[in-house]
Amino acid sequence: MVSGAAAAGDSIAAANLEQRFTAFVATHRERARRLAWRLVGGDAAAAEDVTQDAFVKAYRALGRFREDSTLETWFYRILVRQAHNHRRWRAVRLRWSGGSGEDAPDPSPWPARDPGLGRRIAEALDRLSRRQREAFILVHLEGFTVRESAELMGKPTGTVKSHLHRALRMLRAELADLRDVDGGCRK
């Protein structure tokens, strides 16, 4: 009787967990995939891989989180780290393959409205340091606050602000022409 009740309780807990997880995925799927896409340099397949892995990790830890906000921070932190690991492995694979570009992201399905511009931005971001790139993408492209980004990057807010400042200065220099064209900053 007791074991039956326990089993019923377990199945309810499992169902609740499933429900919470499904809701969590539905809420964060789009933003997480976009963030991963930006962090890995516009590689759609890699972004999907990184995002799905992060969700699986979130699911396995779901029971430990009482509030979804904590889970959210933790989830995005995992995602940022997964994306970084992906970039590292890609760099290693490229080095081993003699930099032939075999493992480079497939440029053909570049989905942005202006593929040339998208690729230029990806290259400019690539030239930033890891922390500068992460700070810029999290704060300016994804809209996380500096405090949230600091938490996701595991760095103090002052450090994130400094990375952000340098990243913006370097990108403005690299993509200076964007500020002078129609639709840009100066008309």
Partner 1 sequence: MTSPGDERARLEGAEGDFVERLAAAYAPPPMTGAERAAFDEGVRARLERPRLRRPLAAAIAAAAAATLLWLAISDSIGPSHLPGEEEVEAVVASSWEDELFLGSDLSASEDRDESEALPRDYLAIASAFLDG
Which stretches of the chain bind partner 1, using CB under 8 A?
25, 29-30, 33-34, 37-38, 42, 44, 47-48, 51-53, 55-56, 59, 69, 72-73, 76, 111-114, 117-118, 121-122, 125, 139-146, 148, 168, 171-172, 175, 178-179, 183-186
Shortest Cβ 138–partner 1 spacing (Å): 9
**Cβ closer to partner 1: 6 or 23?**
23
**Cβ closer to partner 1: 83 or 122?**
122
| Alpha-carbon span 43 to 29, nearest angstrom | 16
Q: Report whether 84 contacts 39 (CB < 8 A).
A: yes
In 60-127, where do the E strands start and end? none
Shortest Cβ 52–partner 1 spacing (Å): 5
> In the 8-state DSSP scheme, what is residue 137?
I
Shortest Cβ 141–partner 1 spacing (Å): 5
> In the 8-state DSSP scheme, what is residue 138?
I
**Cβ closer to partner 1: 4 or 116?**
116
Shortest Cβ 142–partner 1 spacing (Å): 6
| Alpha-carbon span 47 to 163, nearest angstrom | 24
Q: How far is CA 69 from the centre of its chain?
A: 17
Q: Report whether 74 contacts 58 (CB < 8 A).
A: yes
